[in-house]
Structure 1
């Protein structure tokens, strides 16, 4: 912990020395400049960015002769190895490269140093960077000016609710390329009719509401020795993370630079997560973490007691599922060009129905940014940098199978949905144009896209992240779950650390 605190302090000092002068008014956009020359795009997360960016760079250079796009990634690509334990359980070893505390801090410090010296990449991926700090110091361009002055940029082509949600203090320092969200499903064999009727009355829910609705059904199933879990969430600490996400904006306010860990909300989150574990609502798991050198980290995960239903597959009262799986609520998993068996991941889903989306008491329905970019105010080639952002957000690139998450481009979202239905999205050698949908596929597409579009347009909240703060929280909360500290002590420690960090 002391080592981590020292690293955080080092980074705080580094950030505080960068761009001491607040430059909210950045240079002219120079939209009339010629597209050409060289730009560099920098990101930390190789797994999410590398393949997509390299494909885009190649296509961009072909479209605009005389341009060159350099792609810089910091973390190593992950590798996954699977094996079986002595008692027959499945174990996975994920080598996640240098995606650890030290590496993220090294990367942030690298970017800070480059910006301070008047250099740095032209475009910065906002994956682990505290972009609100760079925005405050005028180190990022306000892209609103580019969007307004560029006659070729058509705002209505993009999901405006997502674009607007990532603004900071009314300015567009970040342009989203892709995003993700989770939807809720429930098992009709586990929830009684009364509970299902309650779920049918609305389509957004808090975890507190979900737990209350399922309580009686859960107790009745328990009496019948049914060991199914209420949520498809591994252990108390993971439950804490999802509950924190629900209340994130109440605890952290980046715009005002305030932290609020000691008003009781954070304590309640910790205690609720622990209570859910004690009540058997979440999956018991064994997690072994072994850190090697600062160049790679191996995470071994052994899945423990899940609770099973028919066919030995696990069942859950509720599942929060990534939107990438939504198509399979409408499409046979084993039809078409692809054959996928997700039972080992999602369990028995044959009796599941869609419930809706997660929200909080304030009506905030969150999404996560999978890919987004800010423009370095030091860039000497802003015109080409802006054109590359537009190219990443174009229909051409947004239908690429290498794009992770939902596309920001409306038409691309629709076309990509059709590719999902035909299976072409997962068969790149055959992705030479969308096949004509059969009558059966048209019906599936209409049902699927109607729900997808409705969900996407309900999203209204981007939970701005700061990887430094996230690491502080992750370092501290185990002390509560292992009994070393009380919830109040953990909250007070974090209040002190994060308040200092925010106000450096």
Structure 2
């Protein structure tokens, strides 16, 4: 999808509406199944913008179920630009329709407070969808991470695993990292050891190209449950843990273990990213290191084995839709091999078999010692990082749902600490107060 990505819980536009609605959101609405002119059952799918992948899925679905007419409702067409006013209108319009029971049958809820909708019984559980599929082939590690209160209420068409890519020569010969269990505290230990061993060999860093407030945001983004309770939605930025994290990060920058400056390729031990396809290993990781190592991201406290991931779409079914059975059929088709094998611009499939095939095609080239880039250039490769990529996507289990408003507040206020204008405690209190106000709007 080429539209700009907006992610957040959008509490400010939803609080008033969700606060005055009864559970079920218009239970009496749309009891009759809609019919097209040729007598087909109409199922509507609401998307934020145009998407060629969903258009292809629509075509395949209607071929398999000729008695169903899937109608995609796009809020914006093509590559139209989004403004903050556009986005706010989109949120209000979609939210109001869902609450009143007049919205689309299937809705992309990526930008919405799904847990609030679940509480008000506005969304259908996807159990019947999963029962139509081969769970052994599904990435249940992803779907389980998307569950709310034990139920699955949304499904994505694809996912994007988060990773630390490291210098394999250093990590295999001098510094040992167990990425299945390492934490952010252990990341600091490894980084300090690397810096000590690099004395006299030029400027080398554990990570480069991130200002301290940006690095803090990455930590918050990947450990969000440490700082915002997912059930009560209460902020915890004035906690000892957050203050400690801020002080640790500042010291790592003061000690030049981390740097905001651009570093020469190969002079940093790690970089972190989200993989968008298997090609990112051959076309990205090998540009940084001759022997890249793909690792899980450091884990939050108490969370072991499994990296972070995000999704671009979360499709849910309106609980009072008159065509829930047909909507379930569509989502089951979306997660089937027929749909998951369709060409897409980005993202890993929800089916293990599809990912195995795609990774295998790239890995086959790498087995020969070289990989040919689309530009015609070749890079020396090995199979090892592709084996690590398989492990990464099979164990990704920590769902990252960004709230850009929260991240913006964290970045703005933490700058006052990193620049020496406020103490860590003072900056944390400012963040806590602003985030709390936002969450209560």
Fold conserved between structures, TM > 0.5: yes
Contact kept? 2:162, 2:296, Cα under 8 Å: no
Quote the residue 1:431 is aligned against.
none
Q: How does 1:397-476 map to 2 (within 5 A)?
A: 397-402=339-344, 404-421=346-363, 450-466=387-403, 469-470=406-407, 472-473=409-410, 476=413
Query: Quick check: 2:45–2:107 contact (8 Å CA) kept in 1?
Result: yes
CA 1:256–1:143: 2 relative to 1, 3 Å: same
C-alpha deviations, 1:199-225, integer Å up to 9, x for none? Answer: 2x554422331231231332443543x
CA RMSD of superposed structures (Å): 3.9
Partner Cα separation in structure 2 for residue 69 and residue 279 of structure 1: 58
Q: Displacement of 1:240 after TM fit?
A: 1.1
**Aligned residue-pair number:** 412
- How far, CA to CA, are the matches of 2:350 and 2:332 in structure 1? 11
User: Which runs of no fewer than 5 residues in structure 1 stay unpaired?
Assistant: 1-6, 79-95, 285-304, 334-339, 428-442
Q: Distance in 2 between matches of 1:178 and 1:396?
A: 14
Q: Could you say what secondary structure the match of 2:225 adopts?
A: helix
Give the C-alpha shift of residue 392 in structure 1: 1.4
Q: Could you tell me how far 1:317 is from its partner in structure 2?
A: 0.7
| 1:240-259 to 2 correspondences below 5 Å | 240-259=216-235
What is the DSSP-based 3-state SS (H/G/I as helix, E as strand, rest coil) of the residue aligned with 2:43? strand
1:379-390 paired onto structure 2 within 5 Å: 379-390=321-332
The alpha carbon displacement at 1:399 in A equals 2.1
How far did 1:167 drift?
0.8
1:279 to partner: Cα distance: 3.6
- Contact kept, 8 Å, 2:129 with 2:332, in 1: the verdict is no
Q: Are positions 1:159 and 2:139 aligned together?
A: yes
* Counterpart contact for 2:164–2:294, Cα < 8 Å: yes
Q: TM-score, normalised by structure 1?
A: 0.70
Q: 1:272 pairs with 248, 269, 287, which one?
A: 248
SS of the aligned residue for 2:158 comes to strand
Structure 2 partner of 1:126: 109
For the structure 1 residues 216 and 411, does the alpha-carbon distance in structure 2 shift closer, same or farther, using more than 3 Å as the test? closer
Matched, 1:229 2:209: no
Alpha-carbon distance between aligned partners in 2 of 1:357 and 1:167, rounded to the nearest angstrom: 21
Q: State the match for 1:432 in structure 2.
A: none
Equivalent residues of 2:204, 2:268 under 8 A apart: yes
Q: Distance in 2 between matches of 1:456 and 1:373?
A: 21
How many Å separate the matches in 2 of 1:192 and 1:37?
A: 59
1:306 Cα deviation (Å)? Answer: 1.9
Number of the residue aligned with 2:47: 43
Q: CA, structure 1 residues 114+490, in 2 after alignment: closer, same or farther (shift >3 Å)?
A: farther
Contact 2:243 2:424 in 1 (8 A): yes
Unpaired runs of at least 5, structure 2: 1-9, 366-371, 374-380
- In structure 2, relative to structure 1, the CA distance for the partners of 1:50 and 1:103 (3 Å cut) is same
Relative distance call for 1:480 and 1:73 in structure 2 (3 A) is: farther
Deviation at 1:42, TM superposition (A): 2.2
* Structure 1 position 261 matched with structure 2 position 265: no
Distance 2:181 2:336 in 1: 31
